[in-house]
Amino acid sequence: MPRSWLGIEGLMDDPTATIIAAAIGGVATIVAAYVSYIKGRGPQLSKPSSKDRGYISGRWVAQWTVTRPSERQPEYTKESVEIEVDGGGRVSGTGTNNEAGKYILTGQVWEHVITLQFKAQDDCDGRVGMVLLEKDVMNRRMSGEWIQYSSKKHTVGGTTVWERPSN
């Protein structure tokens, strides 16, 4: 019997497709675990307080560190990100990357966690990804993990730290 995945012959014979599927599955598992944890803590988590919305909304300086795949040397980049949070805890915003240009962000605020999706607007490489941020108790920074996929079949990821601008 020939191997097939969702009826497409030979798709999973490609090592790159296998790696991409594993990376997407890993991120989905992490996000599902956080969402399950958060949902189990009560309904108040789906509607952040006005204090939370005020804390998260505004301008941030995001530092992205590339640590995956592990054979790469760590790389760092800083970007300016502007986000807004509505009354239901939905996040929207934009960021600017020197290499890929402008990207859009959408997501959700939970009690201690912000989940975001991003997509490059001006990038012909089709970069898309996810970010999972945890708020700091001092309300001046957020930190977490990210993963990104491009149409060149590259999956990269790492850590990120978001801080308020010092000006």
What was the pLDDT predicted at 62? 94
Q: Does any domain span residue 103?
A: yes
| 75 belongs to a structural domain | yes
Here the CATH number for the domain that contains residue 111 is 2.40.128.30
Asked whether residue 114 is assigned to any structural domain, the reply reads yes
Q: What is the pLDDT of residue 50?
A: 62
3-state secondary structure 6-42: CCEECHHHCHHHHHHHHHHHHHHHHHHHHHHHHHCCC
Q: Which domain holds residue 67?
A: 45-163
- As for how many domains the chain has, the answer is 1
Measured distance CA(114)–CA(142) in Å, rounded: 9
Give the pLDDT confidence score for residue 167 in this predicted structure. Answer: 66
| Residue range 2-8: mean pLDDT, rounded | 45
Q: Does any domain span residue 18?
A: no
Q: Are 103 and 79 in contact (CB under 8 A)?
A: no
Q: Is the dihedral of CA 4, 155, 30, 46 positive or negative?
A: negative
C-alpha to C-alpha distance for 138 and 3, rounded to whole angstroms: 53
pLDDT of residue 137: 75
Q: Over the stretch 15-52, which tens digit does the pLDDT of each residue have?
A: 776 677 777 776 777 776 666 665 555 444 445 666 66
Residue 4 lies in a domain: no
Residue 126's pLDDT band (boundaries 50, 70, 90)? confident
19 lies in some domain: no
